[in-house]
């Protein structure tokens, strides 16, 4: 018995595990009050994040009743039904175009705007404050406002175009599939530019000024300063804000639903609005769960691959 005990104690893995648990116990004993203060946050995280995520995963692999409760484990049945859905291929393509189109446009427009706001000019502080207004306003309210602006009969856009004699007829912006899709991308870009511009502006202001002074002494012009110094310094923050923007664009329910509800004929739907229709209009909760789970897995894999590729390039 003594030999066995000595062998267990001498095992490095068991010894290390025991040290870890002793360290945890000592930490909890010495700092129990801060950890007690964390309990409400942990409970909220479990209730608002872990539980919905677990429910989605369980529902994706189960048969559900008419109110979305899992009643029987159904393996991949929901995914097979989702693949057979006649709209799912178009929804996937539309989601990809919507996400990557809106994010690319946001980056292209936000960086020059941040470069302008980083300059010293009269009213710069006011311009930065006004920039935050679209982002600070509730997105659903902004989307409803844009829906009225794009209205074919009562909208301000058609009124302005007709007044300036740019167009003669009233354009049905949200009734035409192509125009409606362009409109929702426009509103998504409009609502995303403030956040990305502020992030770029913060990155620009964190760049040490002396590197530009050294570049000017070496004869670098404005283009070389931007390409060889500014962009490399912004690479890390560009990685972060682009990834966040892609994730937010994937779940852009607050823009599409108030404006078009995915109409006309599912041509402005993305994965989030379509899974809402599957679950709460067609009562196909299992397919909705499956689509939500597939979107989650795709975003998880994309985030890991995206960050690792960029990290390897930095290394």
Backbone φ and ψ of 41, nearest 5°: -65, -40
Q: In the prediction, which pLDDT does 315 show?
A: 58
168 contacts: CB under 8 Å, gap ≥ 6: 162
**Rg over CA atoms, the chain:** 26
292 neighbors 251 (Cβ within 8 angstroms):
no
CATH 1.10.3720.10 describes domain 88-268: yes
132 neighbors 218 (Cβ within 8 angstroms):
no
Q: In the prediction, which pLDDT does 218 show?
A: 73
CA distances from 13 to 6, 21, 34, 152 (A): 14, 13, 30, 71
| Percentages (nearest 5) of helix, strand, coil residues in the chain | 75, 0, 20
294 neighbors 301 (Cβ within 8 angstroms):
no
Assigned token pair, 4: 């066995």
Q: Read off the pTM.
A: 0.86
Question: Could you list the pLDDT tens digit for every one of the 315 residues in the chain?
Answer: 444 444 444 556 556 666 788 887 787 777 778 888 889 999 999 999 999 999 999 999 998 888 888 888 877 899 999 999 999 999 999 999 999 999 999 999 999 999 999 888 888 888 888 888 888 888 899 999 999 999 999 999 999 999 999 988 899 999 999 999 999 999 999 999 999 999 999 999 988 888 877 777 777 777 878 888 888 889 889 988 999 899 999 988 999 999 999 999 999 999 999 999 999 999 999 999 999 999 999 999 998 988 888 777 665
Query: Structural domain boundaries of the chain?
Result: 15-78, 88-268
From 129, 143, 142, select the one nearest 261 (Cα to Cα): 143
Residue that has been written with the tokens 């899974």 in this structure: 275
Backbone φ and ψ of 70, nearest 5°: -70, 125
Q: CB under 8 Å, gap of 24 or more: what pairs does 299-302 form?
A: 299/246, 299/247, 299/250, 302/246
Q: In the prediction, which pLDDT does 5 show?
A: 46
Alpha-carbon span 128 to 132, nearest angstrom: 7
Q: Per residue in 47-81, pLDDT tens? A: 999 999 999 999 999 988 888 888 888 778 999 99
From 86, 87, 94, 101, select the one nearest 270 (Cα to Cα): 94
Alpha-carbon span 131 to 137, nearest angstrom: 11
Alpha-carbon span 302 to 174, nearest angstrom: 32
Alpha-carbon span 182 to 90, nearest angstrom: 16
Q: Residue 202 CA to chain centroid, in angstroms?
A: 20
Q: In the prediction, which pLDDT does 68 show?
A: 82
Alpha-carbon span 181 to 116, nearest angstrom: 30
Longest dimension (CA), the chain: 98
């Amino acid at each position: 018995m003594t030999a066995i005990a000595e062998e267990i104690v001498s095992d490095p893995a068991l010894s290390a595990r025991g040290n870890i648990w002793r360290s945890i116990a000592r930490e909890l004993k010495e700092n129990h009050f801060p950890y007690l203060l964390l309990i409400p946050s942990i409970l909220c995280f479990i209730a608002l994040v872990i539980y919905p995520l677990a429910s989605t995963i369980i529902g994706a692999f189960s048969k559900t009743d008419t109110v979305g409760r899992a009643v029987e484990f159904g393996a991949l049945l929901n995914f097979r039904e989702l693949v057979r859905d006649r709209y799912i291929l178009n929804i996937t393509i539309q989601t990809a175009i919507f996400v990557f189109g809106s994010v690319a446009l946001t980056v292209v427009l936000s960086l020059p705007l941040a470069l302008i706001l980083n300059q010293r000019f009269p009213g710069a502080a006011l311009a930065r404050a006004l920039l935050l207004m679209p982002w600070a306003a509730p997105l659903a309210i902004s989307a409803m406002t844009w829906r009225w602006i794009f209205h074919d009969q009562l909208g301000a856009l058609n009124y302005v175009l007709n007044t300036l004699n740019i167009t003669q007829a009233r354009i049905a912006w949200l009734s035409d599939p192509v125009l409606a899709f362009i409109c929702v991308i426009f509103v998504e870009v409009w609502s995303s530019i403030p956040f990305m511009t502020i992030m770029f502006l913060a990155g620009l202001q964190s760049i040490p000024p002396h590197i530009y002074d050294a570049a000017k002494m070496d004869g670098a012009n404005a283009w070389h300063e931007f390409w060889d110094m500014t962009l490399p310094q912004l690479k890390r923050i560009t990685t972060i804000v682009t990834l966040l923007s892609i994730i937010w664009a994937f779940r852009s329910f607050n823009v599409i639903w108030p404006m078009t509800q995915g109409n006309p004929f599912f041509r402005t739907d993305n994965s989030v609005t379509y899974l809402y229709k599957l679950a709460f209009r067609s009562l196909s909760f299992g397919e909705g769960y499956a689509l939500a789970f597939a979107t989650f897995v795709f975003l998880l894999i994309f985030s890991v691959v995206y960050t690792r590729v960029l990290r390897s390039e930095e290394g």
